[in-house]
Amino acid sequence: MIVLDHVAKTFVTRGGEQVLAIADVSLEVRRNEFVCLVGPSGCGKSTLLRLVAGLVAPTEGKVSIGGARVTEPRDDTGIVFQAPTLLPWASILDNVLFPLDMMRRLDAAGRARARDLLALVGLAGFEGKYPRELSGGMQQRAGICRALVHDPDILLMDEPFGALDALTREELTIELMRIWRERPKTILFVTHSIPEAVLLADRVVVMSARPGRVAEIIDISLPRPRDFDMEARHEFQDATRRIRGLIFGSRGARG
């Protein structure tokens, strides 16, 4: 579905310096697969996501979706950011409809889908509320609806739960797995949290920093549906220990 073929990205800083954010990354994501990207800050996880979204162009290599090269943002991808960044002047329903409106594709079917999605994430009845009237977790639920409103095949999530408190975070993690089960999508999920990545993913892509590279790709064999009780299982423990080892070296694995 998504193919990154020897992709490299160099940024030019304000001072004119060239910074290699990603060096030679190759990755293949299958249809309806849930892939998590973990790695230290500065490993280019978010850049990788934006490459797939078509928001930035690779300096070298090729990004393609379904065999077609990505040269600009596509209709079949949706993005969720770390901050919900809802429009403060628009109601929750209008916020969810915003991408359709911007694409000039706003119609009755879209409105119906938006209401469906809001019900799916437990925000039925909040359509007419404004972002400031909702908690951070509820705002991020609306942010997920906004990314899904044009029914994309691919959902790109950039640390979507990073700004939430720990309890809301667990709640939304479970919620996301339920949504994914009910509406299968290809999901690329960037996170700082190793347990979150292991719990969510079919495969975890571990990245190393400066320049960003794929250190290793780890298959997670935990059965689905999953929940936080699985953290006690040895497959879970083995996977988190291995990822920690890859990121911090043997020091982290022992500690």
Binding site for other proteins (CB under 8 A): 50, 53-55, 72-73, 77, 79, 81-83, 85, 87-89, 98-99, 101-103, 130, 132, 146
User: At residue 139, what is the residue type?
Assistant: Q
Tokens of 9: 């990205």
> Whole-number minimum distance, CB 35 to other proteins, in Å?
19
Smallest distance from the beta carbon of 176 to other proteins, in angstroms?
19
Number of Cβ within 10 Å of residue 156's Cβ equals 25
Smallest distance, other proteins to C-beta of residue 1, A: 18
CB-nearer residue toward other proteins: 64 or 82: 82
Least CB distance from residue 54 to other proteins, whole Å?
A: 8
**Cβ proximity to other proteins, 141 vs 146, nearer residue:** 146
Instruction: Identify the bridge partners of residue 207 per DSSP, sorted by sequence position.
Output: 214
Nearest CB to other proteins, comparing residues 88 and 255: 88
- Rounded to whole angstroms, the Cα distance separating 106 from 248 reads 47
Cα 134 vs. chain centroid, distance in angstroms? Answer: 22
d(C-alpha 214, C-alpha 148), whole Å: 28
User: Which of residues 150 and 226 has its CB atom nearest to other proteins in the complex?
Assistant: 150
| DSSP state at residue 88 | T
Would you say 51 or 247 has its CB closer to other proteins? 51
**C-beta of residue 211 within 8 angstroms of C-beta of residue 22:** yes
Q: What is the arrangement of strands in the sheet containing 77-80, beginning at the earlier edge strand?
A: 77-80, 154-158, 186-191, 34-38, 203-208, 213-219
Residue 134 beta carbon to other proteins: minimum distance, rounded to whole angstroms? 13
